[in-house]
Amino acid sequence: MEVEPEQTFIMIKPDGVQRGLVAEIIARFERKGFTLRGLKLQNVQQSFAEKHYEDLSSKPFFRGLVQYIVSGPVVAMVWEGKGVVSTGRTIIGATNPAQSAPGTIRGDYAIDIGRNVIHGSDSVESAKKEIHLWFPEGIVQWTSSLHSWINEQ
C-alpha cells in the first residue's frame, strides 16, 4: 500500500509580498527539496480570512489578524515532501520573530508577531483543512526529475 505524500499549506502574508520576499521564500522550500503543488497570488476577502483563522476567533488579536490578512495580496502555496509540515515550520521559525533562530524566515525577515511574513500549517490535519479551503479546485500533480536525487526510494 502506497502512502500518500505529506503536504502543507504555506501563505506569504501581505508584509512578505509587499517587501518582495516571495522569490526568497519559494527558493528556501525548493532548495530543501520540497515540491510545489499549488501557487496563487490573491486578495483575501474578510469572510474568507475569518474562515481561515476560525480556530483563533476567540482570541483578542483575531480582528487585527483578519484585518492584516485582507490588507494586501497574499501568496498561497501547497508544498509536498517527506516531513514537510514539521520541516516547513522549522524553515519558517517561531511565531514570535524575537524567538526565531537566525536562518529561519522569521528570524531573518521579521521583528513583530503582527508582521511575521508567513503562515505555515501546524499539523497534517490543519494542512489538509487549509489546502481544501484555499485550493478547492485541486493542486497540480507532477513528478520532478530531481525527486530520486532528493528522496530515497
Has 119 been annotated as catalytic? yes
Check 52, 119, 132, 147 and give the catalytic one.
Answer: 119
- All cell numbers assigned to 131: 489546502
Binding site annotation covers 95? yes
- Under DSSP, the state recorded for 104 is S
Binding site annotation covers 63? no
Binding site annotation covers 106? yes
- For residue 28, give the H/E element and its range: helix 22-32
Binding site annotation covers 61? yes
Separation CA 73–CA 69 (nearest Å): 8
The length of the chain is 153
- All cell numbers assigned to 67: 484585518
Binding site annotation covers 89? yes
Separation CA 39–CA 22 (nearest Å): 11
Where in the sequence numbering do the catalytic residues fall?
Answer: 119
Q: Which residues are annotated as a binding site for ATP?
A: 13, 61, 89, 95, 106, 116
Q: Which residues are annotated as a binding site?
A: 13, 61, 89, 95, 106, 116
